[in-house]
Amino acid sequence: MAEPDSVVVAGRAAPRGAYPHLRVAGDLIFVSGTSSRAEDDSIVGAEVAADGRVHLDITAQTRAVLENLDATLGAVGASLGDVVEVTSFLVDMADFDAYNAVYAEFFSAESGPARTTVAVRELPHPQLLIEIKAVAHRPTRARE
């Protein structure tokens, strides 16, 4: 049985609009912008202190984004190893080095995807520091 072209993945944070988590088109998987939001809509790497001050952690958010991306791809039989291109959106380029260090835990220059990183003024929630969208090549095992 062929899987649907558009997929909203159970157990992931719900999309914040009229779009799926991913869309399969032939051998390609296009993953919508993914953040560090958890299924309960909390944001990994965002802590609010008792006095109301907010602490945002780019390291924790980057790791959660990449883990969320991997789990989303897993819903269609793919993984981070199948990613061929990523676009990363950072609210502050001062976070680039920390983001880049975590990214290197998941990907390498020798075998990882092509990547573009851009700065944006803001993301859909004020506690988000990073969002990543990706394109993956659908592995043969996932098409069978």
Element (H, E) at 83: strand 83-90
Residue 140 pLDDT grade (very low, low, confident, very high; cuts 50, 70, 90): confident
pLDDT tens digit string along 75-128? Answer: 999 999 999 999 999 999 999 999 999 999 999 999 999 999 999 999 999 999
d(CA 18, CA 47): 28
Residues in the chain: 144
Residue 2 pLDDT grade (very low, low, confident, very high; cuts 50, 70, 90): low
d(CA 136, CA 75): 13
d(CA 46, CA 65): 13
Tell me if 10 sits within 8 A of 21, measured CB to CB: no
Residue 142 pLDDT grade (very low, low, confident, very high; cuts 50, 70, 90): low
CA 8, 91, 89, 60 dihedral sign is negative
- Percent of the chain scored above 90 by pLDDT? 90
Which domains, ranges and CATH numbers included, belong to the chain?
Answer: 6-143 (3.30.1330.40)
